[in-house]
Structure 1
C-alpha cells in the first residue's frame, strides 16, 4: 500500500495554480487513489459490493494491516465472535493447531521450540491480559529500562488529512467540522428529488455549484469565505492549489487523497458511482476532492504553516512483557537474568504474534472447519444412472443461497429436477414495464444491457390504463407538493388525517389483512391489461438501446442459457424458469432483499422473457440444427420465487401440452406443503422464534406485510460457499441455505469457456455478496449501516445515522446480527468448489489472472472435486 508519486516539477510557485503538476500525471494519481473506495449504488438499486474491490492486488492480510494502521478498522472477526463460534461448535480446535503450525513454520526465533509453542498456545485462548499485571509498578520499571524494540515497522502509507491533527476553538477536530460541511454539500448535490428545492447551478457540476453558493454559507466565517473567493473555476486546478497551499509533499499526494476518500467512503463512493454512469459527470470524484480539500484549506488557513505530525510507531514494551508473564509463564527473575539479545527475541515473538495474527489463525480454523463439514455432506458417490425420463418437471432457480432450502423441499415431494443458474439467465436486458418512459437494467451491475424489452398492450386498453395511472401519480405528486409548500402544508393534516390515521391503525394492528387490501385496492383501480413482450427487433433511432432481439440473438441467448444450466438433452415435459423476488413493507433496504447482483431488480421479468423465447418455433428449429433437440410437448413457463414467503408466483403460462399440464398440476398440488416446510425451516432461524410454529406460511406473510418488522427475512446471511457442479453432487444434502449452487457439467465444456464465464460473472458477484456481508459483520461501524430503527433516508439515495453521518454503504445491523452480542452471519471468506478435473482448474487459474490474484491473495478460497470424487484445496 505504499504510494509512489508520479509528479515531477521542482520549480512550482504558490501563485501558480497548476503548481507544476502535469494534468495527465495528476489524473493518474486520482485514479490510483480511488482504488481505496468502492462505487456505491443508490439504495433503491442496492447491489452487493466488495468494499475492497480495488485492493485485491494486495493480500487480504496486507489490506487488514493497512486498514488497522490508517483507519483503526479491524477486518478480522472480534474475539467475542470467535469465542461465540467456538461455543456453538463452529470451530474445530484441531484446525487452530494446524493453522498455528503453519505460522510457526514461516517464522524463526532463537527461543526453544517448547517455550514458543507454550506461549502461542496460551495466547490463542484469547483471554485478556489482567489489568493489575499491566499496571504493575515492577513491570513498568523493567519496561522503562529496556531500550526501544526494533520492530522494522513498515510504513503502510496513508497520510491522514492534516485537519485531523488540529482542534478548533470549541475543541472539535477540524476534520469533523470539514466532514460536516462536505456532507451538507453532498446531500444537496446528489439529491434525487427528495428535496423541494434543487441545488442551484447543479448542471454546472459539483465544484462550480459549490463555489458559487459557498460565498453565502452562514456556517463559514467571512474570512473563510474570502479565502475561497479567488480559487480557480476549474476543479482540478483548485485541488492542486489547495494541496500546494497545505504544503503536501509531492511524494505523498496519492496517500493524502486516499486519506480524504477514506474519511467519508460512503459519500465518496456515491460520487465514484455517479462518475461511472455518464460522460457528463465523469470528473465528479475530482470535483469532490476539490471541494473537500479546498474547504480544508479554508478551515486550516489560520493554523498554517504547521509542523507535520510524526507517526508514532512506538511499541509498548510493558504490554509485550506482560504477555510473556501471563501466557508464557515467565517470571521477573527469569527476565532479569536474560541477555539483551535474548530479551529482544522474546519481545519480538510477542510483538509478531499479536492480536491480529491470533484472530487470523482462528478465522482460518473457522473456515477449515466449515470446509471439512461441507466435504462430509457432499455426495461424492453420486449416482450415474439417474432416470431423467421419469422427471416430471425441471425447475431452474437463481444461484441465490435462499433457493437451496426451497429446492431441497421441492425435490422431496416428487420426481422434480432443480437447476441452478445466475438469476438474470444470461439475458443482457433493460426492462421497460407497461406505461413507463424509463427502463431499468435487469442484469448484474458489473454488466451493461445490450437490448431493451418493453411490455406492450392493445392501444385502447393501454390508453385507459395510462389515464388511471396518471390520476394515481397526480394524487401522489400533489400530496408531495403540498407537504413541501409552506401554506398548503398547514392544511394537509386536516385533509389527509382521517385516511392516514385509518391506514396507520389497520397496518399496525392487522398488517396481514391491511396491506393486501390496500394493494388489491390499488390494483383493482389500475386494472393493468394483459401484456406481451417486444421480443422482435424494432429499428428505432430514438432509443439508446435496440428494442427486442434479432433472430440470431434469440437463438444465441437461449443456447447460452441452456448450456449454462446443463440442459441440452433429456428435457422434461415442463421446464419452469424461476426468477426470485422479495416482499417487505416500510423497508429502505427492500432492494437488498431482491437479487444481490442486479441492483435490486427481481428476476421474474427475465424468467418470462427466456421462457417465451424457448417456446418460439423458430428458436427451437435453429437449436435443433445445433444439436439441442427440445421435444414438441415440452413447454417452458415462468415463475417467481418469493423468498420472504417461500412461494412460487406464476407469471407466464402458455398453452400446456397434456404431459406439461400433468406436471404443472402436480407442482400446484405440492406447493403448499413445500412452502410450509421451507418457511418453517427459515423462520426457525429468526431470533423471534424459539418455539414450534403451527402456521409458518401465515407467519411468513405477516413478516412480509408488517411495517414495524425490521427483519422480514435474513436475506443472504451466512453465505459461505459457491458450488459449481452437477446437482447430484449436492442433492439431498442439507446445506443450511449457505451455498450458492450453479449447475455445471465439465464433460460439456471441453475448452473451459463455460467455467470461465461462470467465474467471471456469477463467481465475481457471489464473492461481492460474501465480502459485503463479511465487512458489515466484522466492522459494522465503518462498513455497515447501523440500526434500521435509527436510520434516516437522505436525498433519496441512501441512509445515514442522524442528520450528519457518512452515507452508509453496508448492510444494517438486523441483516447480520441476532442480538447486540451475537452475530448471525459467520464472517467466512467464500469457498468456491468446482466439480471438474484438476486440469480444468489449472487452466482457469492460468488464463484468468484476476481470479488467480483473488485466490493467491486470500480473497476467496478454492477447491475442486475431480471425477473420482477426490477433494483438493488450492
Structure 2
C-alpha cells in the first residue's frame, strides 16, 4: 500500500457509505422501509440525535410545532407531566416544563456532514455542486434509463466506468474542460486514492469524511446507484454500475472544475484546514434542545396511545361468536381496510372479517399473458422458488398513438405533434371536466385479466422455468393455506363463502404508484395472490391434508378471490368457480353488502379531501372519488397510509367496538390456536419491519420533507422510469411527497398484541432482527391480557403494567355525522352498541 494512503481502506468506506445512504428501490419496487435503517442498532432517541448531528436530518417536529400541539390540547398536560417525571424526576417537573413551554432554547447543533468539502466554497468560493452535479446526474440518468430517453446510452458494454471511458475516447466533445482529468480517466493505474490525494492532499484520515460529504450532497442518486449495484434485478433493463464508479467519476469532474476555475496550481483542501473541523465519528454530545424535543415527542405519542389502550380495555363488543356466519372476508392488514371492514360488519353483523398480510402466505413470481418479465408477489425480503403463469389468449391492450414509441422519433414525433397534437389539447381540456380511464391510467385491474386462468397446479411435464418451479404441489399448497388460516385463528365455523380480498390502487398522476399497492406483494396488487390462495383452499386434496392437521373445511364452503381498489373504492370478484345457483344467490346478496360498505368507506375517506363536500350522500361522494382517481389534475388521488399509528395483533373482538379512524393495521390472531407463540413469531417477523417501515418512512418524510422526504410532487420530473427529481438536474428524492404525508401525525407505531406477556417476550427474543425493533423503541410494543384485559408495555427488555391516565372516552353512534364535522384526526371513540 502507498504510504500516503495508510489508514484509508476503500472497501470499508464503501461499505459504510452504502450502509448510511438511502436504500429506496426504483419506482417499480417502491416498498416502504425505515429511512434511518443505518441507525436502528441504537435506541430511537439516541439514533435520532446521532442522525441529526452527523447528517443534518430534521428528526422531530420543530419546537414551535410541538408548542402549538400543546396549546391546541393535542398534547395532553397530564401525559406531558408523566413523561417529564419519568425521565427527569418529580422534583424537576416545573423546571423542565418551563423549558418545554416558555424558555427560549438554543438552536439545533450544526450538522457535521459537508463541513470538509464545504471548504472549497468557503476558502476558494467554488461551488462544486453547481459545477459538477448537472453533468454527473445526466450521465447517470442516461445510463440507467429504462425507456424514457429517445437515444440509449451509446456505450453499454462492460459497465458504467468502461462506458464512460469509451465515450470519452470516441466523442468529438470531451466530458472535461482540461487535460488532467481526461488523462487520469484513461490511465488504467489511476486509483480512487490518487484522486482523493489531489482533492484533499496527503491526509488519508480525511478521505472518508470527504467522500461522505461528497455523496451526501446528492444522497438520492448515490443511494439509487448503491441499490442497483446490490440488486440489479430492481431494473427490468439491467445496468452494471457501482458506487465506486460514481465516486471516481465525480472526483474527476471536481478536479476538472477546480482546474478550470483556479488557473494557478492549487493544493488539496485538507492543507487549508485548522483543527476545529468536527469529524463524523466524534462522539455525539447531549444537547438541551434535542432532549426537549424528545420529551415532547413522547408526550405527543402517549397522548394518543393512552386513548387507544383505554379504549381497548373498555371495549364491550357483544357479538355472538357461535352465530351462523353469512360470509367471512380475509383482508390485508393494510390500515386502509380498517374502515371498510368496520362498515361490512355494521351492515351485516353476521359476517366476520380477518386481517393477514396481503400476499396470503403464498409467495411466487408471476408472469402475465404476453409478459416478458416476472413480478415478485410476496414481501420484498423473500425470494420465491415458484412461478405462477397466467393462461389465456393474448390480451388486446387499449392503445393510444400519443403513447407510442413513434411519438419520440424526430420526424414522426413532429408529424404527430402537428396532427394528433391538436386533438391531444382537446382531450386534455375535456379531462378537466370529465376525467376517465385512459391508457395513461395505472389500474390495479390490469394486473390480471378477470377471465384468464392461472397455472397454480404443479405439472410434472413442465416442471421448471428459469430455475423456478411452475405451480405448487398439493402438500406445498396445504402448508401455505394452513399457515394462513392458523395464523389468523380461522380453523373452524367456516361460512358458506370465504372471500380472500387483495388490494391495489388506480392512479393517473402518481409516480409513486407502487407505494399505493400492497407492500406485502412487493408494491403490486394482491389480486393474483387472492385468487391463487382461493384455488388452493378449494382443492379437495388440499382440504384432506388440512383435515389431518386439525382444520376441517366443510365441502359446503367455497373460497372466492377478490380485489379492492383502494383509490376508487371498487371491488371485483374472481367468482368463476361459483357454479351452483344457491351460491350465486348468496354471492349476489353479499355483493350488495360490499357495495354499500364501499359507498360509506368513500364518504369516510372524503373528509380529508378539500374538493369534496362530505355532507353529500355516500353514493354521490363515491362517484366523485372515482372521478378523482383518474383526474390528471389531482395530486392526491388517495392519501395511502397517511395517519397510520397502530398495529393490532389479536382477535377482531379486541377492537370491534372502538373507532380507530383508519389509523390501524389489523392483523388477526387467536392466542387459543397458538398458545406457544409459534405463529405469532411469523406474524411479528413480518409486521415489525413492514408496518414499522411504513410508519417510519411516513414519520421521517413528514418531519423532514426536503432531505428525508420528496418535497411536493408538483415539480417532480420522472428520471428514466426509476426515480423522481425536482427539475432535470436535481437530486433524486428518496422519500414520500408532501401530498402523501401532509395530514400525517409523525408518531411511532404502537403494536398491541393480544397474548400473555411472557409468551410475547419469549417469542420476540427468538428473532434478533425482530427484537431490535422493540428493544430500541423503533416500534412501541404493548400486550393486552386476553382474559383480564390487563395492559403491559415493553421497555428495556421487560413488560411493565400500564394504567391509562385519561380513561374518559366519548361514545358515538352516528359515525356519518361525525365524519362531516372536521378534517383533523379524531380522538378515540367507543362505538355505541345497539
Q: Same fold (TM over 0.5)?
A: yes
1:425 CA drift (Å): 0.8
Q: Which residue of 1 aligns with 2:537?
A: 614
Q: Which residue of 1 aligns with 2:3?
A: 12
1:252 CA drift (Å): 5.1
- CA distance 1:527–1:505, shift in 2 (3 Å): farther
- CA distance 1:527–1:739, shift in 2 (3 Å): closer
The SS at the match of 1:303 is: coil
- CA distance 1:77–1:572, shift in 2 (3 Å): same
Q: Which residue of 2 aligns with 1:66?
A: 50
Q: Which residue of 2 aligns with 1:752?
A: 677
Picking from 266, 269, 279, the partner of 1:303 is 266
- 2:485 pairs with 1:596: no
Q: Which residue of 2 aligns with 1:806?
A: 731
- CA distance 1:240–1:499, shift in 2 (3 Å): same
- 2:437 pairs with 1:515: yes
Picking from 479, 487, 490, the partner of 2:411 is 487
The SS at the match of 1:789 is: coil
- CA distance 1:73–1:241, shift in 2 (3 Å): same
1:159 CA drift (Å): 6.0
Q: Which residue of 2 aligns with 1:729?
A: 654
Whether contact under 8 Å (2:316, 2:657) holds in the other structure is no
Q: How many residues align?
A: 768
- 2:755 pairs with 1:836: yes
Greater shift in the superposed pair: 49-58 or 804-813: 49-58
Q: Which residue of 1 aligns with 2:640?
A: 715
Whether contact under 8 Å (2:315, 2:658) holds in the other structure is no
1:231 CA drift (Å): 4.1
Alignment of 1:462-473 (within 5 A): 462=393, 465=394, 468-469=396-397, 472=399
1:789 CA drift (Å): 1.7
Picking from 664, 679, 701, the partner of 1:739 is 664
Q: Which residue of 2 aligns with 1:768?
A: 693
Whether contact under 8 Å (2:756, 2:785) holds in the other structure is yes
Whether contact under 8 Å (2:757, 2:785) holds in the other structure is yes
Whether contact under 8 Å (2:228, 2:241) holds in the other structure is no
Whether contact under 8 Å (1:445, 1:598) holds in the other structure is yes
Picking from 360, 369, 373, the partner of 2:294 is 360
Whether contact under 8 Å (2:650, 2:753) holds in the other structure is yes
Alignment of 1:316-395 (within 5 A): 354-378=288-312, 386-395=320-329
> Could you report, residue by residue, the CA deviation over 1:669-701 in whole angstroms, capped at 9, with x for unpaired residues?
223321221111110122334651231111111
Picking from 22, 39, 43, the partner of 1:38 is 22
1:230 CA drift (Å): 4.4
- CA distance 1:296–1:497, shift in 2 (3 Å): closer
Alignment of 1:79-478 (within 5 A): 79-105=63-89, 117-125=93-101, 128=104, 160=114, 162-167=116-121, 171-214=125-168, 220-226=176-182, 228-232=184-188, 238-245=191-198, 246-247=200-201, 249-251=203-205, 253-278=207-232, 284-300=242-258, 303-306=266-269, 307=271, 309-310=273-274, 354-378=288-312, 386-414=320-348, 415-457=350-392, 462=393, 465=394, 468-469=396-397, 472=399
- 2:502 pairs with 1:548: no
- 2:415 pairs with 1:497: no
Greater shift in the superposed pair: 279-288 or 765-774: 279-288
Whether contact under 8 Å (1:719, 1:738) holds in the other structure is yes
Whether contact under 8 Å (1:227, 1:298) holds in the other structure is no
TM-score normalised to structure 1 length: 0.81
Whether contact under 8 Å (2:440, 2:508) holds in the other structure is no
TM-score normalised to structure 2 length: 0.85
- CA distance 1:57–1:620, shift in 2 (3 Å): same
Whether contact under 8 Å (2:185, 2:252) holds in the other structure is no
1:62 CA drift (Å): 2.9
The SS at the match of 1:748 is: coil
Q: Which residue of 1 aligns with 2:806?
A: none
1:61 CA drift (Å): 2.5
Whether contact under 8 Å (1:593, 1:715) holds in the other structure is yes
- CA distance 1:594–1:174, shift in 2 (3 Å): same
The SS at the match of 2:372 is: coil
In the alignment, the residues of structure 1 paired with residue 124 and residue 286 of structure 2 have an alpha-carbon distance, to the nearest angstrom, of: 40
Picking from 693, 701, 720, the partner of 1:795 is 720
In the alignment, the residues of structure 2 paired with residue 441 and residue 645 of structure 1 have an alpha-carbon distance, to the nearest angstrom, of: 24
Greater shift in the superposed pair: 648-657 or 708-717: 648-657
Whether contact under 8 Å (1:192, 1:797) holds in the other structure is yes
Q: Which residue of 1 aligns with 2:281?
A: none
Q: Which residue of 2 aligns with 1:319?
A: none
The SS at the match of 2:561 is: strand
1:723 CA drift (Å): 1.0
Whether contact under 8 Å (1:51, 1:772) holds in the other structure is yes
In the alignment, the residues of structure 2 paired with residue 411 and residue 578 of structure 1 have an alpha-carbon distance, to the nearest angstrom, of: 15
In the alignment, the residues of structure 1 paired with residue 630 and residue 738 of structure 2 have an alpha-carbon distance, to the nearest angstrom, of: 20
Picking from 473, 483, 486, the partner of 1:563 is 486
- CA distance 1:379–1:634, shift in 2 (3 Å): farther
1:585 CA drift (Å): 1.6
Picking from 441, 457, 466, the partner of 1:536 is 457
> Could you report, residue by residue, the CA deviation over 1:504-528 in whole angstroms, capped at 9, with x for unpaired residues?
23212211xx43799899x99x997
- CA distance 1:310–1:572, shift in 2 (3 Å): farther
More helix by share: 1
In the alignment, the residues of structure 2 paired with residue 770 and residue 527 of structure 1 have an alpha-carbon distance, to the nearest angstrom, of: 29
Greater shift in the superposed pair: 276-285 or 426-435: 276-285
- CA distance 1:651–1:528, shift in 2 (3 Å): closer
The SS at the match of 1:419 is: strand
Greater shift in the superposed pair: 716-725 or 753-762: 753-762
The structure that has the greater radius of gyration is 1
- CA distance 1:50–1:534, shift in 2 (3 Å): same
The SS at the match of 2:521 is: coil
Q: Which residue of 1 aligns with 2:599?
A: 676
> Could you report, residue by residue, the CA deviation over 1:358-383 in whole angstroms, capped at 9, with x for unpaired residues?
12111100111111010122256666
In the alignment, the residues of structure 1 paired with residue 756 and residue 46 of structure 2 have an alpha-carbon distance, to the nearest angstrom, of: 32
The SS at the match of 2:468 is: coil
In the alignment, the residues of structure 1 paired with residue 309 and residue 644 of structure 2 have an alpha-carbon distance, to the nearest angstrom, of: 16
1:64 CA drift (Å): 2.2
1:859 CA drift (Å): 1.4
- CA distance 1:251–1:566, shift in 2 (3 Å): farther
Greater shift in the superposed pair: 643-652 or 301-310: 301-310
Whether contact under 8 Å (2:176, 2:256) holds in the other structure is no
Greater shift in the superposed pair: 727-736 or 585-594: 585-594
In the alignment, the residues of structure 2 paired with residue 85 and residue 581 of structure 1 have an alpha-carbon distance, to the nearest angstrom, of: 34
The SS at the match of 1:861 is: strand
Picking from 781, 784, 793, the partner of 1:873 is 793
Whether contact under 8 Å (1:564, 1:743) holds in the other structure is yes
CA RMSD of aligned residues (A): 3.4
Q: Which residue of 2 aligns with 1:339?
A: none
The SS at the match of 2:157 is: helix
- CA distance 1:68–1:55, shift in 2 (3 Å): closer
Whether contact under 8 Å (2:441, 2:507) holds in the other structure is no
The SS at the match of 1:388 is: coil
Q: Which residue of 1 aligns with 2:800?
A: none
> Could you report, residue by residue, the CA deviation over 1:237-265 in whole angstroms, capped at 9, with x for unpaired residues?
73233234434755555544433332222
- CA distance 1:438–1:305, shift in 2 (3 Å): closer
The SS at the match of 1:747 is: coil
